[in-house]
A = this chain, B = another copy of it.
Amino acid sequence: MPPETFPFLSAATPVCPPGLLARAQALPAPRVALVNAGAAVPLQGLREAADLGLARPVLVGDRERIVSAADEIGWDIAGLDLVHAPREEAGDAAAGLIREGGADAVMKGQVHTSTFLKALLPSRAGLREKDARCGHVFHITLPGSERPLFLTDAALNVEPDVETRKACLSHAVRLARLLGDDDVKAGCLSASEDVTPQIPSSGEAAEIAAWAATALEAQVQGPMAMDLILSAAAARVKGFEGPVPGDADIVLVPEITTGNALFKLMVLGMGACAGGMVMGAKVPILLTSRSQQAPDRIASAALGAILAAAGPG
């Protein structure tokens, strides 16, 4: 296929930040249950994570398909845990494994995201504390820098209410602190820095920032538009003061389209590596888009190992 020449595509090669990888490799490798493991691409993803010491594979799905997919990629899986389950039952089987303590993390295999999550997230799956809300958090780094920008929720909650957004922000703060950041700064994104009734996310951002002042171990400001999150100079022009502009660790978006587009522009337009996972369940749920590349999958697995070692929270 011809190289892509679209000028808004980055020529930079994404890399999983070595510091993140090293931090994960210093921890015990979690048992990662791959749901519907019988396909070459997801199996290869888990294999890469295992080779790097980020996962001990638990292959869940149709035994025959798994063996065939392993043959296809030349992976000897004879010594690995394999839980046979028909295709439509693989998610439930993985949920059962987790409930019984047989897996420390779960990874999406050859299954639609919605089917995958429907097996894991409803209360009946038993993977969440009562009233706990799940949220997806991306850990995004650019080539040449180890400093992450966390983005939530760009993948799971479509139109999260304020309580769900608070949970997403809490998850991101927890992850940032787990990675060693003890001065976490977060911006609640809107289209404006003014609270205006025409833009409901502006008032909601102010509400979340006010709540965070006592509820979270982080400095949280909002509403802020993207210029104020990225640039202290832009904030000065607008007379917007505080610690977050130009120094943000976390961006909390109001709904999924904004987050999804931002993360994809960072990955494809800026060469970013984006590791991501669903937080808020008993174990981390590793979830990457089909169009994401190997560095993203490795970063996700590294984050999964770090969160699995920390335990539920």
Contact = CB atoms under 8 A, between A and B. Distances in A.
A231 B158 contact: no
Contact of A261 (B147, B232, B262, B270): B262
A223 to B, nearest CB: 10
Nearest to A289: B227
Nearest to A146: B7
A265 B7 CA distance: 15
Contacts of A4: 231-233, 246
A144 B7 contact: yes
Most buried by B among A199, A226, A257, A266: A257
Contacts of A201: 257
B268 A270 contact: no
A256 interface: yes
A158 B269 contact: no
Contacts of A254: 257
Given A261-B225, A262-B262, A270-B270, A291 B230 contact: no
Interface stretch (A119-127, A175-183, A234-242): A234-242
Interface string A155-199: 000100000000000000000000000000000011100000011
A269 B256 CA distance: 20
A268 B226 contact: yes
A130 interface: no
A199 B260 CA distance: 12
Contacts of A248: 6
A90 to B, nearest CB: 22
A34 B75 CA distance: 69
A171 to B, nearest CB: 19
A203 B239 CA distance: 40
Contacts of A261: 189, 191, 225-226, 253, 258, 261-262
A149 B8 contact: yes
A214 interface: no
Top 6 nearest A-B pairs (CB, nearest first) are A226-B264, A7-B145, A234-B291, A226-B261, A191-B260, A258-B258
22 contacts: A1-B233, A4-B233, A6-B230, A6-B232, A6-B246, A6-B247, A7-B142, A7-B145, A7-B147, A8-B230, A158-B198, A189-B261, A191-B256, A226-B265, A227-B264, A227-B268, A230-B265, A230-B268, A234-B291, A238-B291, A262-B262, A262-B265
